[in-house]
Amino acid sequence: MGQNMSRSIWIAGAFVLVLGSLYTAKRSPGADAPRLRGDTQPSAAATTPLTVTTQPGQLAGSVDGGAIAFKGIPYAAAPVGDLRWREPQPAPAWQGIRSATTFGKSCIQPTFNTSMDWSSSLGTQSEDCLSLNVWKPPTHSSTKRPVMVWIHGGAYVIGSSSLPIWSGAPLANKGAVVVNLNYRLGQLGFFAHPALEKEKPGGPVNFGLLDQIAALKWVQQNIAAFGGDPNNVTIFGESAGGQSVLALMASPLAKGLFHKGIAQSTYGSPEISRANAVEIGSKIASAVGLRGAALTPADLRSVPAEKFGQLKSVGLSTSPVAISGDSVLPKPILSTFENGEEARVPLIIGSNSNEASVATAFGMDPAALVQRLGFLRGAIEVLYPGVNDDKTLGLQLIRDTVFTAPGRRFAALHARYAPTWRYYFSYVPAGLRSQWSDGVPHGGEIPFVMNTVDLDQAIAGKLTNGDRTMAKRISSYWFEFAQSSSPVPANSPLWPTYSLNNDKTLAFGERITVETNFMKARLDVLSKLYAQMFPAP
């Protein structure tokens, strides 16, 4: 009974993650919608500093936020027609100078009729969406710059590299070369079906992760042209982007393509099995009008891509997780970490003080969850002394069960083999204290770690100089980690590495402090529950 009730908490938390980082994206809709990929004509404004030569051809960029940006760069061929649900193929070369001044098209995805609908910021959607963007510092350096590759969140269902708060300009102005990318989402990005199983038994199913790997290969081949160091690549992301960081660390196909990772707001939902994904794939085919045992891969590939973007019902995607059982993820991510088989690279991992905002945003009542705990309620209350109301208890329980405890478990596992740092983000700007009364929401740290607070339209008008200073300080930790593998900027508190025997967490609150045994009592209990419910195979 107790274990089943605890599992229900996990399921409830996982369910609300189906919409991943909607909260973050909505807060930054952006004034300009992403436009079509640039054509192959020379840019009239192109000058020598704004032009680079990559393996596929020359690119002309533009000044963006003080940095030099190259947008809408194809890193793989369009995954359309016979290339749908296949490994990404190399992008075709071009002649002349390709304009790289506008974002590429967003990948096919659903939109939602909620108060946080941000579909207007996506611009044109297309199955032809495998592009990336590069920001480089405005000044030349004879020393290669650290490379930071941002992977957006969105529960593997939504998102686009064009959202303003995901801009790489501020970090580029610090001295990094920053990349962000689109990858296939939803049923076009994570999909298995009996017909495809017959076509290629044991073939890939995590196409979105394969896209991320293809983008990292592009970085290895081309980033030096932008002044970046291909031997110093940091991958970082939030929510499903943070899950992607862990997935890439676990994937044998990504080994050697990056050298550090930052996993923000990862969650504890385990990957689904290939067999379950095949069952879901059959339901998806029926939902788009395809039925029958004789269904072929050609039938599946003939369905207009937009039809998949219209599927919103629960059970018609593998979201918010990837699939275990292909060449990308032969085993679940947790199992790989349990066995010490992940990439042994330095890792930062952490979460926010109100991650459960994704639950309340879509109608879940945390107080009602607590009231359904039955006899477990007394045991849970002991773990949260001083919390007297059901809403706050429910929010914190979801936060810690779905985010904080799993993050600490991954940190402890990885710390056995490589330097690992934990953080907890609770800094609330003064102008948002009434709006963020329960703490920093899911995704609320992104404008601070990327120093894009002034690009976030929802908070820009409420910022103080102190908030901007805090954003610069916090982003300096991320930049310094990318630059030197040690997240300790000058004149900042030391950030000790984490292990079970050295339980240190850097708390980004009103002050930046080092906490010892942070939430240890409750996380010990929740981690044991997690290990019992989701044991490594």
Question: Is residue 267 within 8 Å of 410, Cβ to Cβ?
Answer: no
Question: Is residue 270 within 8 Å of 243, Cβ to Cβ?
Answer: no
CA neighbours within 13 Å on the CB side: how many for 357?
A: 23
Of the residues 442, 445, 475, 527, which is catalytic? Answer: 442
Q: What share of the chain is helix, strand, coil (3-state, %, to 5)?
A: 40, 15, 45
Is 406 exposed, middle or buried, given 0-12, 13-18 or 19+ CB atoms closer than 10 A?
buried
Tell me, what's the pLDDT at 405? 95
Determine how many CB atoms are found less than 10 A away from the CB of residue 54: 23
Q: Dump pLDDT digits (tens) for 477-496.
A: 999 999 999 999 988 999 99
Tell me how far apart the 2 most distant CA atoms of the chain are, in Å.
Answer: 71
pLDDT at 39 over 90: no
User: What percent of the chain is predicted at pLDDT more than 70?
Assistant: 88
CA distance 243 to 40: 35
pLDDT at 151 over 50: yes
Q: Is 324 a catalytic residue?
A: no
CA distance 212 to 205: 14
Q: Which regions of 45-96 does DSSP assign to beta strands (E)?
A: 51-53, 58-60, 62-64, 67-74
Three-state DSSP class for residue 66: coil
Question: Is residue 64 within 8 Å of 169, Cβ to Cβ?
Answer: yes
Of the residues 355, 414, 445, 476, which is catalytic? Answer: 355
Q: Is 239 a catalytic residue?
A: yes
> Residue 25: which pLDDT band, with cuts at 50, 70 and 90?
very low
CA distance 132 to 223: 12
Q: Dump pLDDT digits (tens) for 281-335.
A: 999 999 999 987 789 999 999 999 999 999 988 899 999 999 999 999 999 999 9
**Mean pLDDT, residues 188-197:** 97
What six digits make up the tokens of 472? 């610069």
Report which of 180, 165, 103, 102 is spatially closest to residue 135, judged by C-alpha positions. 180
Question: Prior bond to 320 cis, omega within 30?
Answer: yes
Q: Which residues contact 363 (CB under 8 A, 6 or more apart)?
A: none
Q: Is 259 a catalytic residue?
A: no
> Residue 9: which pLDDT band, with cuts at 50, 70 and 90?
very low
Report which of 152, 162, 182, 151 is spatially closest to residue 88, judged by C-alpha positions. 182
Higher-pLDDT residue of 95 and 2 is 95
Is the whole-model pTM more than 0.85?
yes
Question: Is residue 407 within 8 Å of 492, Cβ to Cβ?
Answer: no
Domain span at residue 81 reads 2-533
Tell me, what's the pLDDT at 122? 80
* Length of the chain, in residues: 537
Three-state DSSP class for residue 453: helix
Tell me, what's the pLDDT at 391? 94
Tell me, what's the pLDDT at 362? 72
CATH code, domain carrying 71: 3.40.50.1820
CA distance 430 to 73: 39
Of the residues 121, 126, 131, 239, which is catalytic? Answer: 239
- The winner for highest mean pLDDT among 37-41, 108-112, 153-157, 459-463 is 153-157
Is 223 exposed, middle or buried, given 0-12, 13-18 or 19+ CB atoms closer than 10 A?
buried
Give the CA-trace dihedral at 162, 163, 166, 172, to 10 degrees: 50
CA distance 387 to 381: 8
Report which of 184, 166, 176 is spatially closest to residue 237, judged by C-alpha positions. 166
Q: Which residues contact 506 (CB under 8 A, 6 or more apart)?
A: 350, 421, 422, 423, 424, 477, 493, 495, 512, 513, 514, 515
* Number of domain units in the chain: 1
Determine how many CB atoms are found less than 10 A away from the CB of residue 227: 23
pLDDT at 389 over 50: yes
Q: Dump pLDDT digits (tens) for 51-83.
A: 999 999 999 999 999 999 999 999 999 999 999
Question: Is residue 181 within 8 Å of 151, Cβ to Cβ?
Answer: yes
> Average per-residue pLDDT in the chain?
88
CA distance 191 to 289: 17
pLDDT at 11 over 60: no
Kindly give the pairing relationship between strand 420-425 and strand 272-273: unpaired
Radius of gyration for the alpha carbons in the chain, expressed in angstroms and rounded: 22
Q: Which residues pair with 179 in a beta bridge?
A: 134, 149
**Mean pLDDT, residues 488-513:** 95
Q: How far is CA 234 from the centre of its chain?
A: 14
CA neighbours within 13 Å on the CB side: how many for 347?
A: 32
Q: How far is CA 115 from the centre of its chain?
A: 22
Report which of 99, 174, 102 is spatially closest to residue 138, judged by C-alpha positions. 174
Tell me, what's the pLDDT at 258? 98
